[in-house]
């Protein structure tokens, strides 16, 4: 990297401190031009040291700061890096950044510091992605998994798999190079065993894809039911704030309303839907259509019933439409005189009685949601890693290729064909950690980062 980059690495706005980061071959020269101190010039400071001084631009003092120096290769990017700790506030940090740009740095692109850390070998691609997961984590569980990935847990699993497949490929290609050497039955059996173990490792990693999606996006939970049974009130009660519009008029919710809440450490993506009934007009028809789309994507369904009203054929029909999904029948409005008698209630497995208006039963509902999630019904595993969609795509490609190689080897197919499947599978596995990766993939990954990270 021949150019030097700079950016504000903390959130804009009022705060105790803000950090302006400068990295690249001329980082110390930029700091020398901007920093004034009785301790001398930053280019004279030892690595991993911090000094008090002032930032000045064209003779004007901008702020009193603490300036930290990290010399290559002992920095996040492995380049010479300077971090200027100034007083918080958007204007001060922006003016110091402008000063750094004037003295030779250019504005960093989104994620460019982390991209340089990857390109310079400080971290692998799974660790780079974990940085953004750590920043955007909304629950403790998501934060823990991101921290595991940042520590290299996923990298080590994928790298162990890659080395195993590479060893198998090396053995097979050795026989291709020396065709006069017949593969002994014991050797062929060993190759088959190793391939089978590799396929099992791949499947194990792929089993964490659903959890990875849940940790990043939340567990999709649909709130469904007839009009005016209290779906929107339940949504607001679970969120602890007014998110959905609540009125006595049936059919108030025409569109799907989505928000996220944490229940016992699990991220829950709640979606309030339009009331299920025979549509009255094009708008309501579209709302019910969207309800079905939400229902199809949900892992857990909260089917809300009004205990002050008799059971309707629509209630039974909606339950059938949920199919094999995990359904919690939420009997709402228990603060009103009841008409929905126990003997007429649905033959349900998960049932809870609540009053969204008064809060009665909400804790029982949260406990039941947590119980369903913890049971493994929505895809959680015991592994300490959780792959993302990019990893899942590459590993799925690798799985197909390794299965083809395993089958080909077992029935004695041409070793050149088996070798080709293994080599392509190996490339797919290597793309997970960035051993081999296209530039456009890197751009897509790092463009999701904030500037300054």
Q: Report the pLDDT value the prediction gives residue 187, as an integer from 0 to 100.
A: 64
| Structure tokens, 331 | 């009997």
Domain residue limits, the chain: 5-108, 128-208+386-437, 216-374
User: Which residues, other chains included, contact 94 with Cβ-Cβ below 8 Å and sequence gap of 6+?
Assistant: 8
Across 65-98, b (16+ Cβ under 10 Å) vs e yields bebbbbbbeebbbbbbbbbbbbbbbeebbebbbe
Q: What is the pLDDT of residue 380?
A: 60
Q: Which CATH superfamily is domain 5-108 in?
A: Probable tRNA modification gtpase trme; domain 1 (3.30.1360.120)
- Residue 328 predicted with pLDDT over 70: yes
> Is residue 185's pLDDT more than 60?
no
Beta bridge partners of 338: none
Output the average pLDDT for the chain.
86
pLDDT at 244: 62
Q: What is the structure's pLDDT at 186?
A: 58
List the single range of 8-22, 138-152, 331-345 with lowest mean pLDDT. Answer: 331-345
Distant-in-sequence, close-in-space partners of 407: CB < 8 Å, separation ≥ 6? none
Q: Using the predicted structure, report yes or no on whether residue 291 has a pLDDT greater than 90.
A: no
Q: For the segment 337-392, what is each residue's pLDDT rounded down to a tens digit?
A: 877 765 556 667 788 999 988 889 999 999 998 888 777 655 566 678 889 999 99
Separation between Cα atoms, residue 241 and residue 261, nearest integer Å: 11
Angle at 341 between CA 339 and CA 346, to 5 degrees: 115
| pLDDT bracket for residue 274 (50, 70, 90) | confident
pLDDT in the model for residue 242: 75
Residue 248 has pLDDT above 70, yes or no: no
Strands 300-306 and 219-225 turn out to be parallel
In terms of pLDDT, which residue wins out, 273 or 123? Answer: 123
Note the pLDDT of residue 381.
61
- State what percent of residues in the chain have pLDDT above 70: 89
- Report the pLDDT value the prediction gives residue 36, as an integer from 0 to 100: 94
Written out in words, the top-level CATH class of the domain with range 128-208+386-437 is mainly alpha
* In contact, 431 and 159? CB cutoff 8 Å: no
pLDDT at position 311, please?
A: 84
At 65-94, the pLDDT tens digits run 999 999 999 999 999 999 999 998 889 999
- Partners of 270 in the β-ladder: 221, 259
CA distance 340 to 343: 8
Report which of residues 188 and 194 the model is more confident about. Answer: 194
Cα–Cα dist 79/2, whole Å: 10
Residue with tokens 């792959």: 387
Looking at per-residue pLDDT, the higher value among 256 and 355 belongs to 355
Q: Cα 365 to the chain's mean position, in Å?
A: 26
Residue 238 has pLDDT above 80, yes or no: yes
For residue 179, the model assigns a pLDDT of: 59
CATH class of domain segment(s) 216-374: alpha beta
pLDDT in tens, 387-430: 999 999 999 999 999 999 988 887 777 788 888 999 999 999 99
- Residue 284 and residue 137: Cα distance in Å, rounded? 36
For β-strands 5-8 and 49-57, DSSP reports them as: unpaired
């Amino acid at each position: 990297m021949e150019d030097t980059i700079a950016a504000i690495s903390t959130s804009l706005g009022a705060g105790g401190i803000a950090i302006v980061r400068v990295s690249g071959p001329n980082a110390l020269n930029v700091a020398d031009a901007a920093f004034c101190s009785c301790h001398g010039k930053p280019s004279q400071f030892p690595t991993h040291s911090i000094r008090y001084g002032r930032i000045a631009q064209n003779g004007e003092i901008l702020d009193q700061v603490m300036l930290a120096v990290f010399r290559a290769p002992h920095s996040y990017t492995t380049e010479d890096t300077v971090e200027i700790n100034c007083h918080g506030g958007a204007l001060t940090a922006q003016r110091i950044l402008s000063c750094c740009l004037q003295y030779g740095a250019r504005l960093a692109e989104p994620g460019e510091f982390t991209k340089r850390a990857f390109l310079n070998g400080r971290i692998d691609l799974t660790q780079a992605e974990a940085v953004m997961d750590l920043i955007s984590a909304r629950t403790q569980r998501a934060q823990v998994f991101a921290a595991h990935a940042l520590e290299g847990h996923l990298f080590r699993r994928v790298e162990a798999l890659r080395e195993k497949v590479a060893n198998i490929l090396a053995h097979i290609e050795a026989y291709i190079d020396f065709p006069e050497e017949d593969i002994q039955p014991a050797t062929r059996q060993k190759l088959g065993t190793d391939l089978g173990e590799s396929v099992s490792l791949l499947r194990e990693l792929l089993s964490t894809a659903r959890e990875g999606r849940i940790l990043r996006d939340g567990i999709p939970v649909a709130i469904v039911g007839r009009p005016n049974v209290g779906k929107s009130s339940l949504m607001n009660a679970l969120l602890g704030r007014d998110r959905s519009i609540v009125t006595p008029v049936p059919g108030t919710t025409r569109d799907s309303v989505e928000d996220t809440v944490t229940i016992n450490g699990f991220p829950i993506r709640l979606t309030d839907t339009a009331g299920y009934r025979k549509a009255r007009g094009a708008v309501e028809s579209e709302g019910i259509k969207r309800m079905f789309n939400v229902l199809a994507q949900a892992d857990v369904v909260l089917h809300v019933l009004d205990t002050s009203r008799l059971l309707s054929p629509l209630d039974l029909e909606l339950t059938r439409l949920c199919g094999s999904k995990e359904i919690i029948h939420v009997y709402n409005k228990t603060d009103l005189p009841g008409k929905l008698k126990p003997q007429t209630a649905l033959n349900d497995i998960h049932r809870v009685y609540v009053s969204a208006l008064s809060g009665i039963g909400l804790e029982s509902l949260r406990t039941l949601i947590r119980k369903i999630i913890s049971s493994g019904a929505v895809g959680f595993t015991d592994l300490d890693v959780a792959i993302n969609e990019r990893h899942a795509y590459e590993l799925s490609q690798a799985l197909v290729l390794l299965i083809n190689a395993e089958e080909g080897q077992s029935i004695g197919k041409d070793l050149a064909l088996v070798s080709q499947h293994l080599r392509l599978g190996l490339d797919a596995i290597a793309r997970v950690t960035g051993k081999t990766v296209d530039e456009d993939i890197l751009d897509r990954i790092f463009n999701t980062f904030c500037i300054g990270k």
